[in-house]
Amino acid sequence: MIISKNCKLEKLKQRQYEHTNIGKAYRFLFSIANIIESMPYRCPQVLEFGVADGISTSVFADVLEKKNGKLISVDPVNCSDVISGEFTKRSWKFLRTYDYDTKTIFNSVERKSFDLIYVDSFSDYKTSYNHMTNVFVTWMPYLVRNGFMVIHGVDSHPYLSGGRKEDKKKEMMYDNVRRAIFDFYYKNENIYDLEMCLGSVGMAFLRKL
């Protein structure tokens, strides 16, 4: 059983059915959990970039515990206490580092390939395009066939002038992330499928063919 420091999983599962922006955000997260749950094999390995309050970590750990899978969570801020329970002792690793630190990440895993990579590690509109591009270059070679890279934060609409979260820097950041996704996809569209989900702050799903 996963014990989450900052949320109650059962409440999150209920809230995904709300017709609200937060309900949509939770639906996006649980759609990732459904992808993991539907993988036709046991022991999937998930790499998570960006932990914060551990909401996504909790959702992923919950489904991975049932699949006998592993979760590697990466964040430069110490988030090592966001979840607890038996799963965390045997199958969760928190790494206080950055998504470009391949040495630390690979030293912490037995299998150097991932079934799903979740990216929510952007913080600066000035670097977000290059950041996303570098994530693609660094990590896509280690995504298994039929695996997913899921990117949180691709819809800048809430941050437009007059929008519900008006913020010019975040508008630019999410625009840059989305542009990096499109640039990568259209250079590699024979290798990947792309699904872009809008609303809340959006989410992109890239599947490796």
Domain ranges of the chain: 3-208
Phi then psi dihedrals of residue 3, to 5 deg:
-105, 115
Beta bridge partners of 73: 48, 94
pLDDT of 195: 97
Closest CA to 63 of 18, 116, 140: 116
pTM score, two decimals? 0.96
State whether the Cα torsion 165-58-74-37 is positive or negative.
negative
Return the number of other C-beta atoms located less than 10 Å from residue 195's C-beta. 12
Specify the 3-state DSSP secondary structure of 92.
strand
The tokens describing 205, both together, are 């799903």
pLDDT of 40: 87
pLDDT tens string 59-117: 999 999 999 999 999 999 999 999 999 999 999 999 999 999 999 999 999 999 999 99
Instruction: Decide if pLDDT at 123 tops 90.
Output: no
Q: Residue 196 — very low, low, confident or very high, per pLDDT cuts 50/70/90?
A: very high
Measured distance CA(114)–CA(200) in Å, rounded: 27
Q: Contact 152/50 with Cβ under 8 angstroms?
A: yes
CATH architecture of 3-208: 3-Layer(aba) Sandwich (3.40)
pLDDT of 41: 83
Q: Residue 135 — very low, low, confident or very high, per pLDDT cuts 50/70/90?
A: very high
Closest CA to 155 of 207, 196, 110, 97: 196
pLDDT of 1: 85
